[in-house]
Structure 1
Amino acid sequence: MDELNEIFFSCKKDMDKILKKLQKEIHRIRLGSKSVVPLLEKIKIKCYASFFPLIEVATITIVDNMNITIHPWDRSIISYIDKAIIDENLGFMPTNKGEFIHIRLPILTEEGRKNLMKKIKTQIEKTKIFVRTTRKKYNQSIKKLKISEDLSKTGEIRIQKITKVSIQKIDVLFFSKEKEILSI
């Protein structure tokens, strides 16, 4: 029975990891400047014979919902920052103003929102497949145990319940993101 409980624990833990990864990926898909700043902060800038995160070499300011400015502490690296942002391919182009870099975020059209939803749906489906693959893996682990058939069936039913809960959490995540994207 301890082996069975260990399998349930490991299954739930693995499914939770899958869900957390999905949450991170979907959280990155946001609208407006507040959602872009965390992505900008992590961009690596090649300067001073090394790589530095943008946040360590410049100040990032949110002007309004669609505008961001980046003021490097050393103006000589502004072209490196500009190039790094372009290379990151985040869906917008920075404008080098000499003293600072200006980023104007594009306004998301209805078609853009629908494309975002398609991307999210694809991620959701892939995640559900990972969850089901995990279920299969742990069901096979149960079958390998030397336990009675009744206990084995009970174990598979419990694994199915864990899977069902995980898929429900994925659906809740999807519907909340859909509401956020389509309601703006």
Structure 2
Amino acid sequence: MDELNNIFSSCKEKMEEIFKKLTKEIHRVRLGSKSVSSFLGKIKIKCYGTFFSLTEVANISIIDNMNISIHPWDRTIISNIEKAIINANLGFMPTNKGDSIHIHLPIITEESRKNLIKKIKSQTEHAKILVREIRKKNNQYIRKLKISEDISKTGENYIQKMTSEYIQKIENFFIHKEKEILKI
């Protein structure tokens, strides 16, 4: 039974990993200055011989829904910040104003919203496929164990239940994100 429990915990771990990776990818989808500023804060800036997150070396201010201002505490690293933002490839160009960096976010049109939703939908479908592949692999591991058929079936049913839960989590996350995109 320890082998079965190890399969269950490994399966759950891998499914959770897929869900977290999906949410991280989808949270990168830009909607407005608030979502961009939280992502900007995590960008790594090379300065003083090491890497720091942007929030450790600068103040990020949200001016309005389409504008962000970044004020570094040390003006000598402003070009490093600008390079890091450009290299992050977020779909906009920062403007170096000498003592600060200004970011103007382009307006999201109805067509680009629909494209964002399509992109997110394909990412969620891919995540569902990965979850189902994990189910398949773990069911194969269960079948290879030297256990009774009843216990084997119970294990497969448990993995199916876990798979259904994660697919539902993924679908709910997509629905939430879709509403968020269409609302703005």
**TM-score of the superposed pair, with normalisation by structure 1:** 0.90
CA displacement at 1:92 relative to structure 2: 0.9
Aligned twin of 1:15: 15
Percent identity of equivalent pairs = 70
- Structure 2 counterpart of 1:57, one-letter code: V
> Secondary structure in 1 aligned to 2:155?
helix
Q: Take 2:117 and 2:82, find their aligned partners in 1: how far apart are those partners?
A: 29
SS in structure 1 opposite 2:131? helix
SS of 2:156's equivalent? helix
Deviation at 1:20, TM superposition (A): 2.1
What is the DSSP-based 3-state SS (H/G/I as helix, E as strand, rest coil) of the residue aligned with 1:42? coil
Task: Determine the C-alpha separation between the residues in 2 that align with 1:44 and 1:9.
Answer: 33
Please list the CA deviations of residues 109-166 of structure 1 after superposition, one character each: whole Å capped at 9, or x if unmatched: 1121112112211211221111011101110111111122233223222221211111
Establish whether residue 152 from structure 1 lines up as the match of residue 161 from structure 2: no
Distance in 2 (CA, whole Å) between partners of 1:50 and 1:16 is 32
**Displacement of 1:16:** 2.1
In angstroms, what is the RMSD of aligned CA positions? 1.8
Structure 1: gaps (5+ residues)? none
Report the Cα distance in structure 2 between the residues aligned to 1:78 and 1:4, rounded to whole angstroms.
Answer: 54
Change (3 A) 1:136 1:57: same
The answer to whether structure 1 residue 125 and structure 2 residue 125 are counterparts is yes
Question: Which range moved further: 115-124 or 135-144?
Answer: 115-124
Number of matched pairs: 184
**Any stretches of 5+ residues in structure 2 without a counterpart?**
none
Normalised to the residue count of structure 2, the TM-score between the two structures is 0.90
Aligned partner of residue 62 in structure 1, secondary structure = strand
Q: Show structure 1 runs of 4+ deviating over 6 A.
A: none
- The DSSP-based 3-state class of the residue aligned with 1:91 is coil
